[in-house]
Amino acid sequence: MTLNRRAFLGTAAAAAGTLAAPAVLANGQKKGRVVVIGGGAGGATAARYLAKDSKGALDVTLVEPSRDYYTCFFSNLVIGGVKELASIRHSYGTLAAAYGVNVIHDWAIEVDRANKTVSLAGGSKLAYDKLVIAPGIDFVDGAVEGWSVAAQNKMPHAYKAGSQTELLRAQILAMPEGGTFAMVAPPNPYRCPPGPYERISMVAHLLKQVNPTAKILVADPKPKFSKMALFQEGWNTHYEGMVDWVGPDFGGDKVSVNPDSMTLTIDGEENKVDVCNVIPAMKAGRIAEIAGVTEGNWAPVNAKDMSSKIDGDVHILGDAAAQGDMPKSGFAANSQAKVAAMAIRGALTGSKVFPAKFSNTCWSLIDTDDGVKVGATYKATDEKIAKVDGFISKTGESSAVRAQNFKESEGWYAGITKDMFG
């Protein structure tokens, strides 16, 4: 028997329909609808995997206000002049064109979980069967005395990449000779544990070339930080005498800033500075709070599928989630997104769901070709995402090993951005 194309497509569609018939969609609805809020490391990955693996059996809508996504990963390297800003910019075109994701550039402003709808700032309302919330972070109001988001142009955080990254780099380049760059580091937990310290390294790298008598002053509320021994070794090796790190023993936890006078006060002592990079305490992106899925600053989830502990039809990914042992990183968000996408597809199409596995590696660049890394694998327990085993670079490693680490991080960057955006 020969089948013409139309008959073949009809048969195939009917077969797919039968195989995919999900228990959840009993009321005549043909396709499961998934709305993803936030097109970052978590949301873009989830949207791509949902669309790609369901092969048209799901309606996937991605809501993201920005047309261009600038990765925070490698944004410190842009500040240091090691990478160009354009190299960390990505668009959503391939997700729409090649994977059939319905990309809407708008803000989600309300979630009605009882009626399963998401309202957008532009006025539309989206219905969902499963909702993914991956909005990244917002800052805790009043976390640094004297600072608010209104001051972010005078004292940038550069903890969301793009114009803030450009601004901070421009401010550093405009510093007077021998001037002071200051950072207010955040308390735990926060996005990218090594991020502030990789930034210190990249700022030092830049200043060493353009303003070698400049100084870096860091006020830190934490007594220790990620890869501390590695960073401190690197600062001594490459930037001797340039970095003054003030921990809580010396008042690093008692700071205030004045954006008008460009001062940073540490434990009562006022410092006039030229650039002040304020990275305040963080919380889940505001829409998670609006959706009513947060407890305190973060959104608790079940480790096996990243579903909310408050609403099983809502999955929360990435930085916004309180999930257990994983750091708030792009690698982690990407890893969690694949677990959630598989679970959602299973629930809506009946496809097989395998046990959740997670992994993470965070590379940091200390100076040209001097890269260090920390990483771990994780499993889902009833209580949380639990660390299984891990590794970290050692102090005193050879320059060949460090150069190889940096190369590896470039390979990872190419891989993860392809995994997110196609």
Ligand X SMILES: Cc1cc2nc3c(=O)[nH]c(=O)nc-3n(C[C@H](O)[C@H](O)[C@H](O)COP(=O)(O)OP(=O)(O)OC[C@H]3O[C@@H](n4cnc5c(N)ncnc54)[C@H](O)[C@@H]3O)c2cc1C
Residue closer to ligand X (CB basis): 20 or 116: 116
**DSSP state letters, 201-213:** HHHHHHHHHH-TT
Nearest residue to ligand X on Cβ basis: 40
CA 156 vs. chain centroid, Å, equals 18
Token digits of residue 386? 């639990």
Residue closer to ligand X (CB basis): 57 or 311: 311
Q: Which residues from 79-108 bind ligand X, rule CB under 6 A?
A: 107-108
Number of residues that bind ligand X (CB under 6 A): 39
Site map 132..161 versus ligand X, x via CB under 6 A: --xxx----------------------x--
Token digits of residue 305? 């599928």
- End-to-end CA, the chain: 38
Question: Segment contacting ligand X (CB under 6 A): 177-185, 324-332, 351-359, 375-383?
Answer: 324-332
Which residues pair with residue 246 across a beta bridge?
219
Residue closer to ligand X (CB basis): 75 or 171: 75
Distance CA 326, CA 82 (A): 28
Which of 80, 156, 195, 221 touches ligand X (CB under 6 A)?
Answer: 195
Minimum distance, C-beta of residue 266 to ligand X, in the bound complex (Å): 22
Which of 31, 35, 50, 73 touches ligand X (CB under 6 A)?
Answer: 73
Is residue 37 part of the contact set for ligand X (CB under 6 A)? yes
Is residue 333 part of the contact set for ligand X (CB under 6 A)? yes
CA angle at 264 for the pair 247 and 162, rounded to the nearest 5°: 90
- Cα separations in angstroms, 368 against 70, 239, 399: 22, 12, 10
Is residue 42 part of the contact set for ligand X (CB under 6 A)? yes
Question: Segment contacting ligand X (CB under 6 A): 39-47, 179-187, 213-221, 400-408?
Answer: 39-47
Is residue 318 part of the contact set for ligand X (CB under 6 A)? yes
Residue located via tokens 């990244």 = 136
Question: Segment contacting ligand X (CB under 6 A): 8-16, 172-180, 256-264, 316-324?
Answer: 316-324
- Cα separations in angstroms, 190 against 163, 193, 281, 308: 21, 6, 7, 20
Distance CA 136, CA 37 (A): 10
Minimum distance, C-beta of residue 360 to ligand X, in the bound complex (Å): 7
Is residue 305 part of the contact set for ligand X (CB under 6 A)? no
Distance CA 12, CA 131 (A): 28
Handedness of CA 333, 336, 337, 340 (dihedral sign): negative
Residue 50 · residue 43 · CB < 8 Å: no
**DSSP state letters, 104-120:** E-S-EEEEETTTTEEEE
Residue closer to ligand X (CB basis): 235 or 406: 406
Question: Segment contacting ligand X (CB under 6 A): 10-18, 299-307, 329-337, 376-384?
Answer: 329-337
Minimum distance, C-beta of residue 163 to ligand X, in the bound complex (Å): 13
Q: Which residues bind ligand X (CB under 6 A)?
A: 37-43, 63-66, 69, 72-73, 75-76, 107-108, 134-136, 159, 191-192, 195, 199, 285, 287, 317-320, 328-331, 333, 362-363
